[in-house]
Structure 1
Amino acid sequence: MTPVAIVEEQFAAYNARDLERFMACFADTVRAVRLPDMVTTLDGKAAYAAFYARERFVHDGLRAELVNRIAYGNKVIDHELIHGLGPDPIETAIMFVIEDGLIAMAFAIPGK
């Protein structure tokens, strides 16, 4: 899969709250890092799966709205509004780094 195709697949799986399909998009060694402080928030596919099963996919109204997407090389940056975690959408950007057809790293950039 191309970098854009794998990010599109994880985005669709996220909106469907389909954990198995979502996790199929990630490398076993995937890491999530919060910018700008470079704090690792999730380390490894098992940690990712546990977090999304427990903290995200349990919200019936959860959905991501794509505001903009930039792709270059093996990187894809999505500007998103996340709905369903609270009364107002959460603005964020995620930079995905794709290696061997899977998401190897995700850098979260909070809107505020």
Structure 2
Amino acid sequence: MGDDAPVVERVVESQLAAFNRQALDEFMECYAESVELRIDGVVAASGKEALREIYARQFSVAPVRADVVLRIRQAEWIADHELIEGAAGGPTMSVLALYRVRDGLIDQVQFFGQRVTE
């Protein structure tokens, strides 16, 4: 189990860095073909092409940035508390992001978020 830690953390960190640069192709390289995205428990994208469409649209609207406040790793899961800024000029979001990494790629991501009160 310990041997997987660097791979699990490396792929999540790589997708975060690509997200912050809005580097869509590099971002998508971190995800499995069968990836599933859930937002507040609801499936928002199933499959890599559906995920690409969501992030291509998001990256084209406004520059966004995610900063990790806290990271916890348990086996194949990474749990990040992230602050997301710049999404369509909206408020900063506080997000719990859960990433599951299998075979070196993220195959499941779940977001639970709320606006940060100013």
**Do both proteins adopt the same fold according to a TM-score greater than 0.5, normalized to the shorter chain?**
yes
Q: CA deviation at 1:109?
A: 1.3
Asked if 1:79 is matched to 2:81, the reply is yes
Asked if 1:46 is matched to 2:49, the reply is yes
After the TM superposition, list the runs of 4 or more consecutive aligned residues in structure 1 that deviate by more than 3 angstroms: none
Matches within 5 A, 1:89-104: 89-104=92-107
Q: CA deviation at 1:34?
A: 2.5
Confirm or deny: 8 A CA contact 1:59 1:84 kept in the other structure.
no
Q: CA deviation at 1:106?
A: 0.4
Distance 1:57 1:87 in 2: 14
Q: Residues 2-53 of structure 1: CA distance to partner in whole angstroms, max 9, x if unpaired?
A: 1100000000000010000000000000001133xx3111110000001100
> Structure 1: which 5+ residue stretches go unaligned?
none
Q: TM-score, normalised by structure 2?
A: 0.86
Confirm or deny: 8 A CA contact 1:29 1:43 kept in the other structure.
yes
Query: Greater CA radius of gyration, 1 or 2?
Result: 2
Asked if 1:7 is matched to 2:12, the reply is yes
Confirm or deny: 8 A CA contact 1:10 1:22 kept in the other structure.
yes
> Structure 2: which 5+ residue stretches go unaligned?
1-5
State the Cα RMSD in Å: 1.4
User: Which of the pair is proportionally richer in helix?
Assistant: 2
Asked if 1:106 is matched to 2:109, the reply is yes
Distance 1:91 1:50 in 2: 23
Residue identity (%): 33
Confirm or deny: 8 A CA contact 2:22 2:63 kept in the other structure.
no
Q: TM-score, normalised by structure 1?
A: 0.90
